[in-house]
Amino acid sequence: MTAFKDVKLGKIADILNGIPDSKQLESANKANMITYNFIQPNHLGIFNNIQSVSEIKRTTPVDENYFIRKNDILLKRLNPDAATLINEDISNTTFSSNLFVIRVFKDYCPSYIACLLENHGITWLNGNIVGSIAPIKSISIKALAELDIPVIEYKKQEAIGQMWLLCKKRKQLMINLIAEDQRLMAAAIKNITEKNVRGGQNDGDYQKRY
């Protein structure tokens, strides 16, 4: 069996913590306020999707490093449960201090790193987490940076990353299919019961007439 060499996540990616959620005091001249799209933990879906964004207004510009880019990986700081890979550019969008962005260097495949973070990294982090006894668990940049990443060929990284993304899509399709089946079943039952009620009423009217 081939033994893979490991590298620390902090050696192959920039790990950024976002900007505070607290609102800055609005200046007297509101025209000086700068508006940004703002991603918070509750905006992240479970299918590698962003369900929505909010807005944040600031008196000072956000550093360009804190704008969300294609191939960024988002991870919750509190109670991490999934990794979210940004598949396309999102303009004028920054992120909360309750999120980390892992920005992988070009020699590594972002979807591979996201897959490892979600399926292996979070389990490892839970054993090295701040406040692991408390209901709310918090991870740190230091813990993320120490995460071991197996080094494999780039093509294999891409293959594993694609498998992870396809798995997400299949789960979403299955859930949507189940929801549609339940909707159709409910509609069929409603149709049958309403016909029975109408039929019973008609029988009563017939008996009254005769």
Tell me the domain boundaries of the chain.
Answer: 5-152
Neighbours of 22 (CB within 10 A): 7
**Band of the pLDDT at 176, cuts 50, 70, 90?**
confident
- State mean pLDDT over 134-144: 81
Give dist(CA 67, CA 80) in Å, integer: 21
- Second CATH level (architecture) for the domain 5-152: Alpha-Beta Complex (3.90)
Is the pLDDT higher at 208 or at 198? Answer: 198
Half-sphere exposure of 156 (CA within 13 A, CB side): 5
pTM for this predicted structure: 0.80
Half-sphere exposure of 15 (CA within 13 A, CB side): 21
| pLDDT for residue 205 is more than 60 | no
Most confident of 20-34, 75-89, 95-109, 111-125: 95-109
| pLDDT for residue 133 is more than 60 | no
**Band of the pLDDT at 194, cuts 50, 70, 90?**
confident
Q: pLDDT at position 190, please?
A: 86
